[in-house]
Amino acid sequence: MTEREANLDVEVEIRDTDTAVLAVGGELDNDTATLLHHHLANQFVHGRRHLVLDLSRLGFMDSSGLNILIRAARDARESGGDLHLVAPTPAVRRILEITGLTMTTPLHADVAQALVAAGHAR
């Protein structure tokens, strides 16, 4: 399933009953953060506690987007799961590092590595 709003693309791939991979591309900002939040919340509603966010096509993220990622990491942990971030672009990686999100949320080189870390071999 692919959904596009403004400058944000979100593709969701269900891996199993409790794991989903979301590929996020474009710009994650005040205008688009709600779309990603809805996708993430939908995964939790359907029992998927392990979320992998592929950020390799995300060119821009502001504080609104960062807030969504922080909230998703918290919600995943509270549900007994985890959030894994994959291949953020340099601009996005810098924001993640400056804010300290990388200290609590793992970064991975690719989706396969993140799935293994989440306990789900490809």
- Residue 114, pLDDT > 60, answer yes
Q: Which of 43, 23, 39, 35 is nearest to 85 (CA)?
A: 23
26 sits in the region (left: phi over 0; alpha: psi -120 to 50; else beta) called left
Fold of 2-117: Transcription Regulator spoIIAA (3.30.750)
- Residue % of the chain over a pLDDT of 70: 93
91 pLDDT more than 50? yes
pLDDT (0 to 100) of residue 64: 95
User: What are the phi and psi torsion angles at 76 (to 5°)?
Assistant: -65, -45
The average pLDDT across 51-77 equals 96
pLDDT beyond 90 at 4: no
* pLDDT at res. 79: 92
Q: Is the pTM of this model over 0.75?
A: yes
pLDDT digits (tens, 9 = 90+) for 5-32: 469 999 999 998 899 999 999 999 999 9
